[in-house]
Structure 1
Amino acid sequence: MNSRRISKLILLVAIVTLTFQALAQNAPLFPKGELATTKTHVGDVWLSEVSGPDSTFAFSIAQAVFAPGARLDWHSHPGGQILLFTDGEGYYQERGKPRKTIRKGEVVKCQPGVEHWHGATPTSGVTYLATSPAKGKTIWLQRVTDEEYGTKK
């Protein structure tokens, strides 16, 4: 294993360790962040950058906090993304697959180029840490319908 991979692994282990320590204490990991003003979601979503990419680490880490009922539009990541759920209950769905309920302490790996969406359930907010390699910007697609979200039968 080369030194760059070891450094990435050490950083990921540190993040996971801090995450689970805070979960055990029921304490927030990071400040809530700023209310997102983009048109790529429904409901209230707060975002904060925890760590940006630099000359050593070619990936970023961000925290997203969703109010109950909030969700992102369909999208994909050219380099993939890993979501570490730190609080609440949410949904994750890949195009053409059933929607999954995700809870605090679970991890989701969004594969490169796979269309998906994620967000809170109608009755619970959700918070996660997201890490993504710096391999292109998120590709935003159409809005998640009420039927896809599960609030309209």
Structure 2
Amino acid sequence: MTIRRIHKLILFGVLSVLSSQAMAQNAPIFPKGELATTKTHVGDVWLSEVSGHDSTFTFSIAQAVFAPGARLDWHSHPGGQILLFTDGEGYYQERGKPRQTVRKGELVKCQPGVEHWHGATPTRGVTYLATSPAKGKTIWFKRVTDEEYGAKK
């Protein structure tokens, strides 16, 4: 085997390793979860519980994966909620305020009792981790209208 052939084989091996590492970095951290069957959203939303609350840890962590165009109805959390966006692009809006675009790596603090909604953009899905204290269940309100969803900033 020639030196040139050995170099090509080594280069191919290195590129294969780098390619598989890049693919692994883009792989989801947690399983996608189960398709939500509740009537509190539009579009496809998958949910999975990452960690439930217990007698020591009084908060839970869940992952939500939204298909493009999917969104939750207006709602509030008695104890608040923190959303850590891990993939894609989405929207977050509090009642009476402009809609915000949120992206991978951003964090949103949903204040206790503040009515809001969140979901994917029309063209891109979004994934986030949500952590909530065990201070009451989510309170659901009206559906986000198409006009509210499509409103400009």
In 1, distance between residues paired with 2:134 and 2:29? Answer: 23
Q: Report the equivalent of 2:75.
A: 75
- Point out 4+ residue stretches in structure 1 off by more than 2 angstroms: none
Q: Provide the TM-score with structure 2 as the length reference.
A: 0.82
In 2, distance between residues paired with 1:151 and 1:135? Answer: 32
In 2, distance between residues paired with 1:29 and 1:125? Answer: 16
Q: Report the equivalent of 1:98.
A: 98
Give the Å deviation of 1:25: 1.7
In 2, distance between residues paired with 1:29 and 1:148? Answer: 32
Aligned amino acid, residue 63 of structure 1: Q
* % identical equivalent positions: 92
Q: Report the equivalent of 1:42.
A: 42
Change (3 A) 1:77 1:61: same
Give the Å deviation of 1:141: 0.2
Q: Provide the TM-score with structure 1 as the length reference.
A: 0.82
SS in 2 for 1:68: coil
In 2, distance between residues paired with 1:105 and 1:26? Answer: 14
Aligned amino acid, residue 113 of structure 1: G
SS in 1 for 2:68: coil
In 2, distance between residues paired with 1:109 and 1:43? Answer: 24
**Count of aligned positions:** 129
Question: Does the alignment pair 1:121 with 2:121?
Answer: yes
Name the larger-Rg structure: 2
In 2, distance between residues paired with 1:25 and 1:151? Answer: 34
In 2, distance between residues paired with 1:106 and 1:151? Answer: 21
Aligned amino acid, residue 78 of structure 2: P
SS in 2 for 1:98: coil
Give the Å deviation of 1:27: 2.1
SS in 2 for 1:149: helix
Structure 1 vs Structure 2 CA RMSD: 1.4
Note the residue ranges of structure 2 that are not aligned, 5 or more in a row. Answer: 1-23
In 1, distance between residues paired with 2:72 and 2:80? Answer: 16
Note the residue ranges of structure 1 that are not aligned, 5 or more in a row. Answer: 1-23
